[in-house]
Structure 1
Amino acid sequence: MRHRFRLLTYCIVFLSMWGCAAPSSFRVTDFGAVGDGKSINTTAIQSAIDACHQAGGGQVLIAEGTFVTGTVLLQSNVELHIQEGATLLGSTDPRDYQSIDAFTDATGQVRGKCLIGALDVKNVKISGKGTIDGQGAAFHQGPLKKVLADQGLTKEEINELMGNRPFLLRFVRSSGIELRDIHLRQPAAWTCHFFQSTDILVDGIDIYSHAHRNNDGIDLDSSHDAIIRNCNIDTGDDAICFKTTSPEPTHSVTVRNCRLKSDWGAIKFGTESMGDMHHIDISLCQIHDTKGGGIKILSVDGANIHHIRIDSIEMTDTEMPIFVRLGERRRTYRDAPQQPVGSIDSVTISNLKASTRSLDSSRVNPPSGILITGTPDYKIGSVQLDNIEILVSGGGMDEHTQLIPEEMPARYPEFSFFGVLPAYGMYARNVTDLKLIDYDFKLKADDQRSAIRVQDVEQRQFQPKTKK
């Protein structure tokens, strides 16, 4: 409760700060910005931000028009306000972007460039009902190579620019961050990345991110004391993702009342997971039309994931509603030393109602509702599932009942790699303490597999719903 009190106190102070006398306003057009959708306005917008900061803080205003820009960096005590009808549009030239705190992610790609960045700052805000659009489709390799070649760049110069696709927003080692109401669109990589940052409020934003690969929505990375609420997120990759690309933990986070759609994972822990993740509370969220997993809890690089509470979740047309994996990949990031194998413990998922996708749109056919698996040497600790209802598509054949999925302890943790499971409701193995209370697994079509299959589960308690 202490961290929640601290965060509540912070929010009151923060909102009071912004809600007092109207802050000084700095219009980007007064600094030479032109909202014609063509002119590059990086210098003008950065000048407005710097002037606002030097004046002690206030609001940088982007009103009517479409303003093209490369990387701009927020400064302490500055609010970037984009009015409804205005658009901040990312340049399609990779030379217009800066890299801050570059790192290599789990896919082996260098990251760090961004459209809007914040590095070692305090009390920053992005608000308004306008739009920030990264034009990520322009960064596909084929078209981009041609554009750069037509501009006379050498092959070496082109290859150097091809990597490090820009994120839309990046906050690094910063505190007192607020995002409110803004529309975030089509980055070339992740949409919104918080790294080693704290005191974060994300409220009422809308994300659509399908322009390229690795299009995550919100990534909380080695960050803490955060609230995410009332958001609508539709992504090609993870929608809301907790990760740790450093040994510092991600903790003390509340997610509430969000609507999520993803082609990979709607609510996800990992895969980058060097540091711990704990005391994370997620509730009252809707997940729909998700090709990957609804809830994925993955520790594979050393994270100790514990005290996770997920409650009151509705899912429709989700490929696998729950996937929990403790693995032994042990990948490193940012030159940190390799961590020992981590753990997963004290996880509670309650009041979940879900349906799986149709057979013709599932990568694993026939699908299953839940997969929970540690490894023979490293077992998952305590997991409790309470009041779980899953409608599964069915289709399992008699031959599927004898399947034993491979262990694959060091492989990338994706449920589809385990293939068809021998149970349609839940398959669990290598778990110390598993409770499944008040569950109801229903079928859309016949399935020869059993509802539940477990292997090497030391303590178990399974209690189906009482039929009325």
Structure 2
Amino acid sequence: MKKLLFLLGLAVLSVTARAQDFNITKFGVSADSTKLNTKAIQRAIDKAYASGGGTVVIPKGVYLSGALFFKPKTKLRLLEGAKLKGSDNIADYPLGPSRMEGKKLDYYAALVNAYKVDGFTITGPGIIDGNGAKFWKYFWDHRDSMRKAGKESTNLEVHRPRLLFIWGCNNVTIQNVKLHNSGFWTTHLYQCNNVLIEGCDIRSPFKPVPAPSTDGVDIDVCKKVTIRNCYVSVNDDAICIKGGKGPDAHKLPENGIVEDVLVENCTIGSAHATLTLGSECIHARNITMRNCKVDNNTPLLKFKMRPDTYQIFENVTVENITGKCGTILEMAPWKQFFDLGGSVEKPFGTIRNITLSNIKVDCQRFATLEGNPMDKVSGIVFKNIEATSKNPLVNKYTDVKAENVTVNGVPLVIK
């Protein structure tokens, strides 16, 4: 018995040792909010890793930093009144292997990076602030100058960091934290499984300087992702399903399916769309959004149909939604940065088993269903919907049904 108690005691001590907190102020981090603290905060992360794991703690105060790289068994916690503030100098975000816009490429690190860190957590109630205003202004100035020269500008030409990039991690939790003002995408999950984003406040502004391409959550080649009890208002798509683009994207190992995504009990403010599949997504299935409130003038559900990419969107459910939106469902060609890359392929999209039910909204248009000419669309059902709308349904497909749907008090009949 004594031997058993001794071993149990050692186990408790071992767990305690592994579960240490590493307060960044003990690693030479300055309380001066104008001083760059990247190296000192990274020392805290490295020490936590070397100690067998632990939580890096950001206390009350404002701490300026460039890219931070979390390692196995390390976590991040931001206390009340804590702000991890991103540098607005792109030199503080090193180039490295990454993933952007459905392509494998070298790109700038995010403010918070985790690569193959299973069990990674970020908890609040503090703030991670991307301090993105300088990047946004550069973006618009560059785009304006290119347009004046008669040229097109892509999203990658003005170098901007994401707020979070979590790659190849299982069992991830992002909870009760504020994610604000990202220079580029706010939360990018790539090749992750079992992710919970809960109780988070995710924002970027539309004015005075719009924050371009600051998607709230980008789910890229991931499985089993839950987004719950969050508020999202960003100057792009609130929740975006990704996974690859291009005529050969479905054949490349870095791309893949997104499946088993649940968005529930969230409130979506201003955005370009509430839930978007695309613009770089080869296959998404089992996607559910339920029990949410919307307050914007953009699509509730949006399918971006790329004519240069084979796409399958299936088993998508949107239910129990209230509020105000631009349209309940928008399906339309998406030709931004169209590129067949010399391929002779003729890609098309397949959309099937889409159900929108128990929805009560004010909208500008009920729905628009007009994909590319070769797209195959079936099994779209509108059910138990009460909408007010200035514009009717636009639809070019036969397998679309309306059950107990009224628009401006009149039953919707789909011919």
Which band: TM-score by shorter chain? 0.7 to 0.9
- Amino acid in structure 1 at the alignment position of 2:30: V
Q: Partners in 2 of 1:141 and 1:198 — Cα distance?
A: 35
Pick one of 62, 69, 76 that aligns with 2:72: 76
The one-letter amino acid paired with 2:392 is G
CA contact (8 A) 1:35 1:68 kept: no
Instruction: State yes or no: 1:171 paired with 2:169.
Output: no
Deviation at 1:243, TM superposition (A): 1.4
Mapped contact 1:425–1:452 kept (Cα < 8 A) = no
Q: Which residue of 1 aligns with 2:388?
A: 391
Greater shift, 47-56 or 338-347, is seen at 338-347
Of 387, 407, 410, the residue aligned with 1:441 is: 407
Report the Cα offset of residue 272 of structure 1.
1.3
Supply the distance in 2 between the matched residues of 1:111 and 1:438 (Cα, whole angstroms): 49
Q: Is the 8 A contact 2:348 2:372 kept in 1?
A: no
Alignment match of 1:374 (pick from 371, 375, 395): 371
- The residue that corresponds to 1:427 in the other structure is 394
Offset of 1:299 from its aligned partner? 3.5
Query: 1:304 aligns to what?
Result: 312
Task: Please point out which of 280, 283, 291 is paired with 1:276.
Answer: 283
Q: Does 1:229 align with 2:196?
A: no
Following superposition, the deviation at residue 256 of structure 1 comes to: 0.8
TM-score by length of 2: 0.81
SS of the residue 1:435 aligns to: strand
SS in 1 for 2:276: strand
Report the Cα distance in structure 2 between the residues aligned to 1:188 and 1:333, rounded to whole angstroms. 29
Q: Hey, what does 2:237 align to over in structure 1?
A: 238
Aligned to 1:148: none
**1:407 corresponds to:** none
Q: Find out whether 1:248 has 2:256 as its counterpart.
A: yes
For 1:143 and 1:324, locate their aligned partners in 2 and report how far apart those are by CA, in whole Å: 28
CA–CA distance in 2 between the matches of 1:49 and 1:427? 54
Question: Partner residue of 2:120?
Answer: 124
CA distance in 2, matches of 1:279, 1:111: 30
CA contact (8 A) 1:128 1:180 kept: yes
Output the CA distance in 1 between the equivalents of 2:368 and 2:201. 31
Inter-CA distance 292–251: structure 2 relative to 1 (3 Å threshold)? same
Deviation at 1:174, TM superposition (A): 1.9
Task: Provide, for residues 180-237 of structure 1, a one-character-per-residue CA deviation record: whole Å limited to 9, x for no partner.
Answer: 0001110111110101111111110101112521111011011111111010111111
CA deviation digits over 1:109-148, x for unaligned, max 9? 9854311111222111110200010110021455999xxx
In the superposition, relative to structure 1, how do residues 379 and 180 fare at CA in structure 2: closer, same or farther (>3 Å)?
A: same
Please give the per-residue CA displacement for 1:229-250, whole angstroms capped at 9, x wherever unaligned: 0101111111111111253011
Q: Tell me if 1:101 matches 2:97.
A: yes
Q: Is 1:323 matched up with 2:322? A: no
Q: Which residue identity does 1:292 align to in structure 2?
A: T
Structure 1 runs not aligned, ≥5 long: 1-19, 146-160, 357-366, 395-423, 444-449, 455-459, 461-468
In 2: Cα distance, 1:94 partner to 1:335 partner: 33
**Secondary structure class of the residue paired with 1:37:** coil
- Quote the Cα distance in structure 1 between the aligned partners of 2:191 and 2:132: 25
| 2:254 corresponds to 1:287 | no
Shift of 1:164: 2.4
> What's 2:185 paired with?
190
Partner of 2:176: 181
Change (3 A) 1:335 1:126: farther
Change (3 A) 1:111 1:373: farther
Distance in 2 (CA, whole Å) between partners of 1:203 and 1:328 is: 33
Match among 348, 357, 367 for residue 341 of structure 1: 348
Identity percentage of aligned residues: 26
Task: Give the deviation of 1:336 after TM superposition.
Answer: 11
How far is 1:279 from its partner? 0.8
8 Å CA contact 2:93, 2:108 repeated in 1:
no
The answer to whether the 8 A contact 2:102-2:243 is kept is no
Aligned positions, number = 371
Compared CA separation, residues 136 and 179, structure 1 to 2 (3 A): same
Gaps of 5+ in 2: 1-14, 142-155, 245-253
In the alignment, is the contact (CA less than 8 A) between 1:104 and 1:333 conserved in 2? no
- Residues 128 and 141 of structure 1, relative CA distance in 2, 3 Å threshold: closer
User: 1:53 pairs with 30, 40, 49, which one?
Assistant: 49
Q: Secondary structure at the match of 2:214?
A: coil
TM-score scaled by length of structure 1? 0.73
How far off is 1:323 after superposition?
0.9
Measured at CA, do residues 434 and 206 of structure 1 come closer, stay the same or move farther in structure 2, by a change above 3 Å? same
Task: Note if contact 1:70-1:97 (Cα within 8 Å) is conserved in structure 2.
Answer: yes
Q: Distance in 2 between matches of 1:299 and 1:142?
A: 29
* Equivalent in the alignment of 2:150: none
For residue 391 of structure 1, give the secondary structure of its aligned residue in structure 2: strand
The RMSD of aligned alpha carbons is: 3.1
Alignment equivalent of 1:313, drawn from 315, 321, 328:
321
User: In the aligned structure 2, how far is the partner of 1:104 from the partner of 1:334?
Assistant: 17
Structure 2 vs 1, CA of residues 281 and 69 (structure 1 numbering), >3 Å: closer, same or farther?
A: same
SS of corresponding position for 1:30: helix
Task: Classify 1:99/1:338 alpha carbon distance in 2 versus 1 (closer, same or farther; 3 Å).
Answer: farther
Look up the equivalent residue of 1:261 and give its one-letter code.
G
Distance 1:144 1:240 in 2: 23
**Residues 290 and 321 in structure 2, CA contact (< 8 A), matched pair in contact too:** yes
In 2, Cα distance between the equivalents of 1:193 and 1:258?
Answer: 18
Among 60, 65, 88, the residue aligned to 1:64:
60
Amino acid at match of 1:373: E
